């Protein structure tokens, strides 16, 4: 019987392990934490809420969608109504349209100038603003503020985000489904058949190629197998926390041209809502000159009351706000930090009944961040080419290895499928398709 070691028990590693075990391999999953799931973590008290992945993104193409019925997962399309706000109240003007025009202009700029060097999204916007005369200065300023919302999905400041990456972020996309009754249902489903194969509290430090397969050095001793799938977060690999074999040196080199972003969440609930509960999301548009530092940052605010989940709000923050959050030590500190944004929603000093924030940027097993990203000068294409060109019985998986929906749980899931298929090919085991591998 052939054997495989999976390094990392997130959704990518668990999916890969399931595929391999269903094809007759002996699998061992090595996970540093005391739980599996990685950056998927569902808390149940005082209400069910997600500390990590929260949506089935791009539902029209998401390979997890069949699980809605299979696992009785409930979701809510929370994009029916979105209200844009500024520190002075509801947003006015054409900022959103200008932002969309900027992305279209950026796409065309790099299309017409294919050899142009990458530049930050901030510099690219300035270049756009200087080149157009049909938009007045106020609209350009509004457009810039709205464009800064890229800071949240990229997990880094606008001045660091790759302009080339932003230029490819236009166009329409399928809807996102907000999960109501536990993303962990997916994790529980994945680990059901492999529960006895999971080793928790095992830190992996090195992977070596041997004459008969691979040796994996860990905090709990050495493990050997015919094949290995590395499903650790990008930044864990980039930092060199796990030493890789020399025959994947091109992967190690390409890692240096990838970046890692940080985003946090804040949950607040109240006895009674003071905000418009009919709105699905509020988007706070930052002001460059606000007196309060937090008002200089963008926020996506999910109205939990709209879906009936809780009388509360969930704030998705930029990297700069996430860094501020790391310095807070009490619930009062968290509330005081976010209070200026709450005031925009109508807050009058009501006492919250529940306060919680995420701490992914402090979590070494998460790579001290949340998802792969693209800084100026990065080359995601070169990374994907290098990682998917690897042949043999050492493969890589994770959201950073996904061709589509990188940074999302379904992208990670799909990457686990791809890595497992490559291992099966290397071991000359015929692949049997399933309902969750439409690749």
pLDDT by position in tens, the chain (length 439): 899 999 999 999 999 999 999 999 999 999 999 999 999 999 999 999 999 999 999 999 999 999 999 999 999 999 999 999 999 999 988 899 999 999 999 999 999 999 999 999 999 999 999 999 999 999 999 999 999 999 999 999 999 999 999 999 877 778 999 999 999 999 999 999 999 999 999 999 999 999 999 999 999 999 999 999 999 999 999 999 999 999 999 999 999 999 999 999 999 999 999 999 999 999 999 998 888 889 999 999 999 999 999 999 999 999 999 988 888 879 999 999 999 999 999 999 999 999 999 999 999 999 999 999 999 999 999 999 999 999 889 999 999 999 988 999 999 999 999 999 999 999 999 988 776 654 3
Query: Residue 182 corresponds to which tokens in the numbers above?
Result: 């536990």
- Asked if 396 and 229 touch (Cβ cutoff 8 Å), the reply is yes
Question: pTM for this structure?
Answer: 0.95
Residue with tokens 């106020």: 138
Query: Residue 80 corresponds to which tokens in the numbers above?
Result: 């029916």
Comparing CA positions, the residue from 176, 102, 90, 175 lying closest to residue 135 is 102
Q: How far apart are CA 229 and CA 21, in angstroms?
A: 13
- Asked if 261 and 390 touch (Cβ cutoff 8 Å), the reply is no
């Amino acid at each position: 019987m052939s054997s495989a070691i999976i390094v990392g028990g997130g959704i990518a590693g668990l999916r890969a392990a399931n595929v391999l075990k269903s094809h007759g391999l002996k699998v061992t999953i090595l996970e540093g934490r005391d739980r599996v799931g990685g950056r998927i973590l569902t808390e149940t008290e005082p209400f069910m809420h997600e500390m990590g992945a929260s949506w089935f993104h791009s539902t029209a193409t998401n390979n997890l969608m069949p699980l809605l019925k299979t696992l009785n997962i409930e979701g809510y399309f929370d994009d029916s109504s979105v209200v844009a706000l500024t520190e002075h109240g509801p947003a006015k003007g054409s900022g959103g349209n200008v932002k969309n025009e900027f992305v279209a202009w950026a796409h065309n700029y790099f299309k017409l100038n294919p050899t142009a060097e990458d530049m930050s999204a901030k510099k690219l916007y300035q270049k756009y603003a200087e080149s157009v005369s049909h938009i007045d200065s106020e609209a350009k300023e509004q457009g810039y503020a709205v464009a800064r919302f890229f800071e949240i999905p990229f997990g880094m400041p606008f001045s660091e985000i790759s302009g080339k990456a932003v230029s490819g972020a236009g166009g329409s996309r399928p809807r996102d489904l907000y999960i109501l009754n536990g993303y962990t249902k997916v994790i529980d489903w994945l680990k059901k058949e492999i529960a006895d194969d999971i080793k928790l509290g095992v830190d992996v430090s090195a992977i070596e190629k041997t004459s008969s397969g691979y040796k994996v050095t860990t905090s709990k001793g050495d493990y050997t197998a015919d094949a290995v799938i590395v499903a650790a977060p990008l930044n864990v690999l980039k930092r060199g926390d796990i030493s890789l074999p020399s025959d994947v040196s091109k992967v190690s080199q390409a890692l240096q041209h990838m970046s890692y972003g940080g985003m946090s969440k804040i949950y607040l609930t109240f006895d009674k809502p003071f905000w418009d509960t009919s709105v699905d999301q509020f988007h706070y548009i930052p002001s460059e000159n606000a007196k309060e530092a937090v008002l200089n940052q963008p926020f996506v605010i999910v109205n939990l009351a709209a879906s009936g989940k809780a009388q509360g709000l969930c704030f998705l923050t930029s990297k700069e706000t996430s860094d501020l959050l790391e310095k807070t030590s009490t619930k009062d500190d968290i509330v005081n930090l976010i209070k200026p944004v709450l005031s925009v929603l109508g807050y009058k000093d009501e006492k919250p009944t529940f306060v919680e924030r995420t701490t992914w940027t402090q979590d070494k097993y998460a790579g001290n961040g949340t998802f792969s990203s693209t800084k100026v000068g990065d080359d995601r294409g070169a990374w994907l080419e290098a990682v998917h060109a690897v042949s043999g019985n050492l493969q890589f998986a994770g959201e950073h290895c996904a061709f589509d929906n990188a940074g999302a749980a379904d992208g990670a899931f799909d990457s686990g499928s791809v890595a497992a298929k490559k291992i099966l090919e290397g071991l000359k085991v015929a692949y049997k398709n399933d309902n969750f591998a439409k690749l």
